[in-house]
Structure 1
Amino acid sequence: MRITIFGATGHVGSQITAEALRRGHQVTAVSHSGKTVADTTPAQANFDDTPAVVELANQADVTVISVPPSRTADEPIEVNLDAHQRLIDAAPDTRIVVVGGAGSLLVDGVPLRDTPGFPDAYRREATWGIELLKRYRQAPVGVDWLIVSPSPEIGPGERTGQYVVGTDSPVGDHITTQDFAVGILDEIEAPAHHRMRITLADK
């Protein structure tokens, strides 16, 4: 399968890239720098360059987007959100799998971002995740998208190959980046969810 991965050298994207290669897929690894990733076709593109993004996406069977908003306050989250909106409006032929945030997950109907004790350091990215989900839910019916939110905590660890799947509420407190990648590749290879958000957690 041909898989284009935006953010292929990032914290999460690199694990998705590694898992795709482990399974023998043809990977186009897209990054801002165009950094070469072994056994992939490297490509350089900024996610806000919509014509380039659509061209690369349409060359693949599935496109994974693992590009969070800039973590510097100098760049508004709308820069990233508007890039997603332009991609939605372009209605690419490929399936789009987006790495979302955990802050939009619901706890008793309330976004995790708005629950007591939610860390201020993650509030900006959580707000991005809530708006991102809203925009994809308003996408035209011809756009085949999926947002995958991690558990509230995600970090490097052991690849067990096991995980739990939920929809709009957390199904666990933590997931490793390795098993998060396993879950995404499982969904790519055997699509079970379309035009919705799912979440993954350690089993």
Structure 2
Amino acid sequence: MKIAVYGATGMVGSQIVAEAARRGHEVTAISRKGTPVEGAAVARAADLADAETYREIAEANDAVVLATSPDRTGGPREPYVEAHRAIAKVPAAARLYMVGGFGGLKAPDGTPIKDTPDFPAIYKGESDAAFAAYEALRDAGTGVTVQAPAAVIAPGERTGKYVTAVDVPAAGESISSQDFAVAALDELERPQFSGKFFTASN
């Protein structure tokens, strides 16, 4: 399978590249600077907001993974959402796969976790932007599949074991970035959650 990964130098994106390469897939690693990523056959510089380049990449690959995130340095987050609105208008046969946020999952009463009283205020803006980007893709009929992490995700051990749930948190409060990537490639290879918002945790 040919897989393109936006955000390929990040904690999650780099692990998805590594896991895909480990399984023998041909990976194009995309970042703003085109930095080489271990395991990728090609490293390419591109901005997610460049819809024409996205069109070219989507036409050349079987799947496009969006492992980017809203600004975390205090800058504006609307450009991130606008980039997703732009690519939502690009028709493409490639499967679209987005790394979402834990806050987009739902509490038992159906409220998005990001909108619950106990959700940390420091993450609220980032979570709102990530969910708005997802909505742009969903509402455009792209068939996007979203994989959210557990409440905590960090580099750790690749165990190959995880549990999943759709729309709500899965059992377990954390997941390693390595196992998150395992879950992502399992879903890309053997789809079970196409067009859904699911999560994986250890």
Contact 2:18 2:39 in 1 (8 A): no
Deviations 1:2-53 (A, max 9, x none): 1001111111101101101111110000011111123421100011111112
| Aligned equivalent of 1:177 | 177
The Cα shift of 1:68 comes to 0.4
| Aligned equivalent of 2:167 | 168
Which 5+ residue runs of structure 1 have no aligned equivalent? none
Q: Distance in 1 between matches of 2:140 and 2:111?
A: 23
The Cα shift of 1:56 comes to 1.2
Contact 2:20 2:27 in 1 (8 A): yes
| Aligned equivalent of 2:45 | 44
Q: Distance in 2 between matches of 1:130 and 1:188?
A: 21
One-letter amino acid matched to 1:149: A
Q: Percent identity, aligned pairs only?
A: 39
Shifted more, 56-65 versus 34-43: the winner is 34-43
Contact 2:18 2:38 in 1 (8 A): no
Deviations 1:53-83 (A, max 9, x none): 22112110111010101213322x2211111
Q: Distance in 2 between matches of 1:13 and 1:39?
A: 12
Matches within 5 A, 1:20-99: 20-40=20-40, 41-75=42-76, 77-99=77-99
Q: Distance in 1 between matches of 2:184 and 2:17?
A: 11
Contact 2:150 2:175 in 1 (8 A): yes
- Tell me, yes or no, if structure 1 residue 144 matches structure 2 residue 143: yes
Does the C-alpha gap of structure 1 residues 43 and 167 become closer, same or farther in structure 2, counting only changes over 3 Å? same
Contact 1:137 1:196 in 2 (8 A): no
The Cα shift of 1:116 comes to 3.0
The Cα shift of 1:192 comes to 1.6
TM-score by length of 2: 0.94
Shifted more, 47-56 versus 11-20: the winner is 47-56
Deviations 1:82-114 (A, max 9, x none): 111111111222101000111111112121112
TM-score by length of 1: 0.93
Q: Distance in 1 between matches of 2:23 and 2:32?
A: 25
SS at match of 2:89: helix
Deviations 1:137-182 (A, max 9, x none): 3122xx3320111111111111110111111110131111010000
Does the C-alpha gap of structure 1 residues 152 and 38 become closer, same or farther in structure 2, counting only changes over 3 Å? closer
Which 5+ residue runs of structure 2 have no aligned equivalent? none
Contact 1:103 1:125 in 2 (8 A): no
SS at match of 2:192: coil
| Aligned equivalent of 1:8 | 8
Q: Distance in 2 between matches of 1:132 and 1:42?
A: 25
- Tell me, yes or no, if structure 1 residue 196 matches structure 2 residue 196: yes
Contact 1:61 1:94 in 2 (8 A): yes
| Aligned equivalent of 1:106 | 106
RMSD over equivalenced CA pairs, Å: 1.3
Contact 2:146 2:196 in 1 (8 A): yes
